[in-house]
Structure 1
Amino acid sequence: MKPQLKQLHMTLAFQYAAEKHDALMRMAEKIDPQCSAHWEIQVFSRDAAVKSAEVRRVLKNYKPQQADELELQTEDFVFMEPEEHKTSPDGWFKGTSWRSGLSAFFPGNFTSQCAQMEVWTLHRYVTLPNFVSAQKEDTLKRQNGWKKAQASLPPEQMEVDAPELVVSLPEKAQSSSGEYDNVWGISEDVSRLYAKVNKPDTKSSAPEVQRPPRKLLISRHGERCDFAFYKTWFDKSFDEEGRYSRMNLNCPKFLVSRSSYKDFSKDAPLTLIGRQQARITGEALLDAGQYVTSVYCSPSLRCVETATEILKGMRSPCRLRVEPCLYEWAGWCKPIPQFMSPMELEANGFPVDSQYTPYLTPAEISLSESVADYYSRSYSFTRTIMQKHRAEGGTFLFVGHSGSLDACTRQMLGHQPRDPGGFRDCIRGCPYCALCCMEEDSGIAGAVGGGWRTAERSPSDGDRWRLVEPPVL
């Protein structure tokens, strides 16, 4: 490219429907070129092998019914050839999953077409200072100074006109813009053309509000009765009529009310020590200056009780969102326990958000789930929550099981899921109320403060995350 033609070409809208063109043009013409603009340079990459493919966003989960069908999970994307619309007789298309790389047939009505930018990978972004706004501010100051000077002069010495407010372009841009426009056959007024790339700032007098980086805290539950006293806990705690009496002073004095006492055999509560572990974990987080904005927990009773005690220790008013997707690997416990519903938990005094719609229902967790499926389930939910809260930022708390600490963070940090042996080795010896933290990397050195040390850092899915070590409890 010749030096005199080096220009930045901006696209205000990309891959939009043809019928939207006139409305977008009217919106562009209303942009005020005198307003300051906030610029951010972002560097993306894309897979050249699928540049001609149609990208479709998955709207609803789909479990394959046949060997040649593709599993669909929300927040995933599917690549397919545009010709599939013409060759498919029944609305089933052949495509490739962006997440798994597998190719098979999928129902088109479970997906919707989206822009290819949705699957581009963000490598780096830089926020530029507002040069235009600063230049205008300097000119206004000079104008105000001129007005004050004029006010002190006799009427016959006052000048008629004030200095003009002019925002000039760099010299090279002024000299080459005409030639650049001629090359591309642009005949309209240059100032009117470039006015369309400025963004109006309706609150130019107010400072720009920066959202806090997203931070994810993940905690294992506290000590549980059936592990502290083994399987004999249930047999020794209930009589034939289902009446409860505690077999040890470490057992809870009273149990919550549920539809059947037999459900406690697969879904045991915390011990009193377990509750205390969770409470002091919350107090330690409070002492470290941590404040959570959202809490998601496994439907296991031990996890609900742990989350409740952590919130008490943090003095947090947050309500629990019971999420079956945070339940442990199904290979540990078959069948899936009969969990208490959010309404039942709320009736027993737990601070549960009964209006929350979970990502998965317990019935959707496969009993034949592999370790790889468990990692995929955990990663998919974590990624969905991080995207959901991307705009406002904040700190989120997941309360789950020993495997949750690795399964929810590993792929977010750019690593592959562990194999079954590695998974078992990883969680072996995981202490009760073990805590890990993953924080969005803002690109600023020393962004993790207050005693939180960086442990690991890696890119993932366009966002940048790092694993940090919480304070010693």
Structure 2
Amino acid sequence: LNVPNNPAARNLIESGVFHDNPPITAFGKCTIQLTARAMANRGVKSKRLICSPTLRCIQTAEALANFLKAKIVIEPGLLEPLAWYRATSQTLPDFHLDLLSKLYPIDTNYTPQYKLDQLLENFDREQEKEGVARINNVLRSLAQESREEPLIFVAHAITLAEAASLATSNSYTDKMEGGEIIDRIGLGVRFPPGSLVAIQCKGEGQSSSYDLCPGVVPPLSYGEFYTNQPVFEATA
């Protein structure tokens, strides 16, 4: 029931070009459509959605874009740590962005913080900690840009964790100083599909700080977990 069954998704899957870059699930699409509607109803809007290059993230961003009337821009720097791909004997996927830009509302004029060529060059040597630091750096760099509207990122559970860490000072990079490895299953439990983390910047430059804003949209519940209520534990 959770396998995508619309014609466009089937064609992408059956073509074989995305065998290492899976699409959004049926449940995931329903979840993000509800989240997108809630964001639109609450007036959370932006002209662009900053998105990881994975297919499932682009499809998630498309659902948001339809409600928010926004364009998608691709930020390769938001990709999960490259060490996670190596751990499963995967190479860096060919994301086929030229093809996807014809199928989804992607603005190809955006200049990313990290280019895909940089990720490919660093694929064999980027460690988990460095991958998390890369994501954190993208969030911080874009957050400091002058703008008149919210920043909306569409990426992965680790992105949500690092976004929340800007307000809680509970970054995974700090925990990995002692050699800890991220529990990816636990990370997915704390930030289930459709999760939303909202933070607000106070001040400017080096003196700026962030606060969590848990009530931006009503939550979807997963038993004891909620999509807009990040669960922070001492052991990640």
Matched, 1:440 2:201: yes
Structure 2 CA distance for partners of 1:425 and 1:432, relative to 1, 3 Å: closer
Letter in 2 for 1:337: P
Q: 1:472 corresponds to which residue?
A: 219
1:374 Cα shift? 1.6
1:271 Cα shift? 2.5
Query: 1:353 pairs with 79, 103, 107, which one?
Result: 107
Partner deviation per Cα, 1:79-102 (whole Å, 9 max, x = no partner): xxxxxxxxxxxxxxxxxxxxxxxx
1:290 Cα shift? 1.6
Query: 2:150 pairs with 388, 392, 395, which one?
Result: 395
Q: Secondary structure at the match of 1:394?
A: coil
Structure 2 CA distance for partners of 1:412 and 1:344, relative to 1, 3 Å: farther
Matched, 1:338 2:127: no
CA distance in structure 1 between the partners assigned to 2:183 and 2:160 by the alignment? 11
Matched, 1:265 2:16: no
Instruction: Kindly name which structure, 1 or 2, has the bigger radius of gyration based on alpha carbons.
Output: 1
Task: State the TM-score, normalizing by the size of structure 1.
Answer: 0.39
Partner deviation per Cα, 1:242-265 (whole Å, 9 max, x = no partner): xxxxxx6x533333877x933221
Q: Secondary structure at the match of 2:197?
A: strand
Letter in 2 for 1:322: I
CA distance in structure 2 between the partners assigned to 1:353 and 1:397 by the alignment? 15
Matched, 1:377 2:134: yes
Letter in 2 for 1:466: D
Trace 1:69-468 onto structure 2 (pairs within 5 A).
250-255=4-9, 261-312=15-66, 315-333=67-85, 334-341=90-97, 343-348=98-103, 350-365=104-119, 366-367=122-123, 368-389=125-146, 392-411=147-166, 413-416=168-171, 417=173, 418-419=175-176, 420-422=180-182, 424=184, 427-429=187-189, 430-441=191-202, 461-468=206-213
Q: Secondary structure at the match of 1:421?
A: coil
Structure number with higher relative contact order (C-alpha < 8 Å, ≥ 6 residues apart): 2
Q: Retained in 2: the 8 A contact 1:298–1:304?
A: yes
Q: Retained in 2: the 8 A contact 1:379–1:412?
A: no
Q: 1:68 corresponds to which residue?
A: none
Task: State the TM-score, normalizing by the size of structure 2.
Answer: 0.75
Whose strand proportion is higher, 1 or 2? 1
Partner deviation per Cα, 1:411-433 (whole Å, 9 max, x = no partner): 56544423243554751413111
1:305 Cα shift? 0.3
Q: Retained in 1: the 8 A contact 2:167–2:212?
A: no
Work out the percentage of aligned pairs sharing the same amino acid: 21
1:340 Cα shift? 1.8
1:395 Cα shift? 0.7
Tell me, which stretches of 5 or more residues in structure 1 are unaligned? 1-224, 229-247, 443-458
Letter in 2 for 1:427: L
CA distance in structure 2 between the partners assigned to 1:344 and 1:412 by the alignment? 37
Q: Retained in 2: the 8 A contact 1:324–1:361?
A: yes
Q: Tell me the number of residue pairs that the alignment of Structure 1 and Structure 2 aligns.
A: 204
Q: 1:216 corresponds to which residue?
A: none
Letter in 1 for 2:137: S
CA distance in structure 2 between the partners assigned to 1:371 and 1:460 by the alignment? 28
Letter in 2 for 1:267: N
Structure 2 CA distance for partners of 1:380 and 1:278, relative to 1, 3 Å: same
CA distance in structure 2 between the partners assigned to 1:423 and 1:393 by the alignment? 37
Q: Retained in 2: the 8 A contact 1:375–1:408?
A: no
Q: Retained in 2: the 8 A contact 1:413–1:460?
A: no
Whose helix proportion is higher, 1 or 2? 2
CA distance in structure 1 between the partners assigned to 2:83 and 2:182 by the alignment? 15
